[in-house]
Structure 1
Amino acid sequence: MNKTLFKQVDNSPLIVFRIIFGLLIALEAWGAIATGWVRRTLVEPKFTFNFIGFDFLQPIPEPGMYIYFGLMGSFGILIMLGVKYRLSIIAYTVLWTCVYLMQKTSYNNHYYLLILLLIFMCIVPAHTYFSYDARKNPNLRSIKMPNWVVLFLIAQVWIVYTYSSLAKFYPDWLDGTFPELLMKGRAHYWLIGDLLQDQWVHVCITYFGVLFDLLVVPLLLWKRTRITIFWISVFFHLFNSIVFQIGIFPYMSLAFSVFFFPKQYIQQTFLKSKPFYSDEAYAPPKSAPLIKTFFAVWFILQLILPLRHHFIKGEVLWTEEGHRASWRMMLRSKTGYASFKVKDLSTGVTSYVKLEEYLTQKQRRQLIKPDGVWQFTQHLKQDYAAREIPIEIYARIKVGVNGRQPEFLIDPKLDLTKITWNYFSHNDWILPQPKSMP
């Protein structure tokens, strides 16, 4: 194992990936400002649905979040250029992780993947060539890297794709129910909107989605299929970019390809002036045991986290318990409504909560998710407690999964001030999933 992990190989793939990665994360940060994402998600809301337990992470008042994201974008450019690389990549990692944890109204599994990639880029020697740091400090300059860098990235990508494929093995995906719903929301697209409504397109999306995610990494590793699957990947990710508009991540996924092609091919294609390192000498560092321990812990967690919903009572499509950080991407559509009423125990008067006074329209979608219900209840409790008004809170919340008739998510007669949140196990105040669900 030591020879496999610690032999020295040419570092061209890592250098090229650093340049692409830095540019993409800069565009991610600055694009969030330009598209209004920062304004809608972090500036306009009066209340933030942060990850439970991270209430201390709150958006900075305007114009703070614009400056925050502008600074992140600047760090991305520094990463691309290899300027103060360690400081820049650590800074971006901290800033992005804080953004991820301080809000989940715009949750996306890709945001979590970016945290993992940032941690990866923090620990690899990605700035030892074609960088400002290496030019300024010749002692830093190197054309090689340990082989574990390549293996780490490939293993992480393989886990993501495999779990994404396995998650699609459920009735509403395999019979085309959800892909059809997914495309209905794109019927207004210019030129391709009508095409996306055709039944054959839904069938292609259904089975191509399963097979691509399951086979893309093995086929990229196999020399005979590498070129073919690469061009299929280009089509797949450009389709996702155009149809689903998911930011930088289709392009990030294509950037992973540099780790699958022969290193000399990457060097000759992108870094012709760079010497190629062909001597794969075995040179384990003194830190080898620590590195192997880190790998073991990291990948055990990566393998376990996506499985945790199997050990939590209830169907994850209904309860959302164990959904996040599990590579369950674009798997379900939820519709429904929520209304809250507050009973003033000192007067006996009951009144309905004007949700628009507390939440933006986008945030109100969180109220058909159990953790969002609990968090909003806590916010209401604090609001009334500040006015010294004893209350009970009740809610009528109905949810429909993948076009089904909405059903009650919680008992309308349940006083929500009494409920608690169990982060790692099932919350019994959530009603059982409807029998109509798969």
Structure 2
Amino acid sequence: MKNYLFRQIDNAPLIVFRIFFGFLLACETFGAILTGWVKENFIDVEFTFSHIGLDWLQPLPGIGMYFYFCLMGVLGLLVMAGYKYRWTLGAYTLLWAGVYFMQKTSYNNHYYLLLLVCIIMWFLPANTYASLDAKQKSSVKSLTMPAWCSWVMITQVTIVYFFATIAKFYPGWLDGTFTKNLLDRSVTIPVLHDIFTQKWFYLFIAYAGIAFDLLVVPLLLFKKTRTWAFIASLIFHLFNSITLQIGIFPFFALSFVVFFYPPEKIRSIFFKKKPVITEEIALKGSPYKTTLYYFFIPYLIVQLALPLRHHLIKGDVFWTEEGHRLSWRMMLRTRNGYTTYKVVDKKTGKPIPYNVHTKMTRKQYNSMCTKPDMIWQFAQRIKKEQAQKGIDVAIYAQTEAAVNGAPLKKLINSTVDLGEAEWHYFSHSPWIILYEDMESVQKQP
């Protein structure tokens, strides 16, 4: 196994992936400007819901975020071209990390995956062929890479699909409730809407989703089933792209396929003039052993552990949301409900009128009102605002929420002062109400 991981193979898959990846980075960031995503999430808001502990991370003033995203778009194109690769990808990674941690209103798992792959790619020799770096400096050029470079990518995508599969085994997915709701609101063409909301169709989509996530990686690994798995991937991801309109993610997911095919096959398709790797070259040792041992092995252990952490937290993650993020729990449920805040002057005992809708956009409110961490964060914000006026306040949240269209249930203990309450990173926050019968919370009647 050791010899297999460190043998030199044709680096064509990694080079092709770098080119695709850089192009998608540019599409993601320039597209965010053109579609109004930047304006909606960073320009038109008074503040953003940053990840807890990073509240200081807020958008640049005025139209500064447009320049921020334009810079990322240019960096993406430079990564694609392989120009000063470590610097340009490193800069993009830092800027994208800023975007990712700066806001949770439009949280998406593919934003997280994009960040992880940026980190992975920074450690890999992806600029050693078909790049400006290799053209300008001959010492950079190489035709090979250690075999483990491909296996790191395969392992990462396996983790994503595996935990996405496991997460779907809950009542709201297995009975088709979520897929029905999703297709009902996503498909606007009347003829397609009538078909997609038929029980046989949304149940088919639900179980096809489980089957695809579970089987796609194993089928891609075997030569006899690889091309069929690739065709299934094309159909699956193009369907998602058209019906769900989820940006670059379907194409991003498809780009990982290059690591499953033999490197020689990828070379013959994309780099016909690239020299063939001889057996003598393939047996050479790898100069990247420490990178695998001291970065990637710990990294992959963390990736395996993070999606399991919600099992160590009291309560059901579908209801409490504790441990939901960073866990590949992708497009599993819808949440709806409302939140109102009661702000009380501790000194006088009198309530202070507070209208949350004057402080955040409708999108921010809709995202916040059913997510305990964001409800808590806004309570902290209210407390700071009032403290600046010299008023010490208690803040109580009246919150009801529903998962997948089920009846509304109380989410937050309305007798707890959220201004004084603590957020627990690795355990249950006791002011979030739990229910023994989670099926009634998750399942539409």
TM-score, length of structure 1 as denominator length:
0.97
In the TM superposition, residue 183 of structure 1 has moved relative to its aligned partner by: 1.3
**Larger deviation, residues 115-124 vs 282-291:** 282-291
Q: Name the residue aligned to 1:300.
A: 301
Separation (CA, whole Å) in 2 of partners of 1:10 and 1:189: 46
Q: Distance in 2 between matches of 1:191 and 1:267?
A: 44
- Secondary structure of 1:395's partner? strand
Distance in structure 1 (CA, Å) of the matches to 2:105 and 2:186: 21
Aligned to 1:226: 226
Other-structure match for 1:86: 86
- 2:117 is matched with which residue? 117
Counterpart contact for 1:340–1:352, Cα < 8 Å: no
**1:310 aligned residue:** 311
Q: CA deviation at 1:420?
A: 0.8
Please say if residues 187 and 243 of structure 2, whose CA atoms lie closer than 8 Å, have aligned partners that are also in contact.
no
Aligned to 1:426: 428
- Structure 2 residue 404 is matched with structure 1 residue 398: no
**Residue among 387, 391, 398 paired with 1:389:** 391
Distance 1:135 1:222 in 2: 36
TM-align CA RMSD? 1.4
Q: For 1:286 and 1:276, how far apart are their aligned partners in 2?
A: 21
Provide the C-alpha distance between the structure 2 equivalents of 1:15 and 1:278, rounded to a whole number of angstroms.
19
Moved over 6 A (4+): none
**2:407/2:441 contact within 8 Å kept:** no
1:320-399 mapped onto 2 (5 Å cutoff): 320-364=321-365, 365-399=367-401
How far has the Cα of 1:187 moved from its partner?
A: 4.1
Shift of 1:67: 0.3
The superposition leaves residues 328-371 of structure 1 with CA deviations (integer Å, 9 ceiling, x where unpaired) of: 00111101011112112344331442112111111112121110
Structure 1, residues 182-208: CA drift from partner, whole Å, max 9, x if none?
111124246532221121211111111
Identity score, percent: 49
Conservation of the 8 A alpha-carbon contact between 2:7 and 2:286? no
User: Which residue of structure 2 lines up, in the alignment, with residue 145 of structure 1?
Assistant: 145
Question: Against the structure 1 CA distance between its residues 82 and 194, is the aligned structure 2 distance closer, same or farther, given a 3 Å change threshold?
Answer: same
Partner-residue secondary structure (3-state), 2:379: helix
Secondary structure in structure 2 of the residue aligned to 1:425: coil
Equivalent pairs, count: 438
Q: CA deviation at 1:411?
A: 2.1
Q: Residue 273 of structure 2 aligns with which residue? A: 273
Post-superposition offset of 1:431: 0.7
How far is the alpha carbon of 1:19 from its aligned partner? 0.7
Distance 1:261 1:190, change over 3 A: farther
- Range that drifts further, 191-200 or 150-159: 191-200
Contact map agreement 1:394 1:416 (CA 8 A) in 2: yes
Deviations 1:294-326 (A, max 9, x none): 222111111110010011000001110000010
Is the Cα contact below 8 Å between 1:407 and 1:434 reproduced in 2?
no
TM-score for the superposition, normalised by structure 2: 0.95
Q: Secondary structure at the match of 2:68?
A: helix
Equivalent residues of 2:47, 2:58 under 8 A apart: no
**Structure 1: any 5+ residue segments left out of the alignment?**
none
Shift of 1:290: 5.0
Deviates more, 1:408-417 or 1:354-363: 408-417
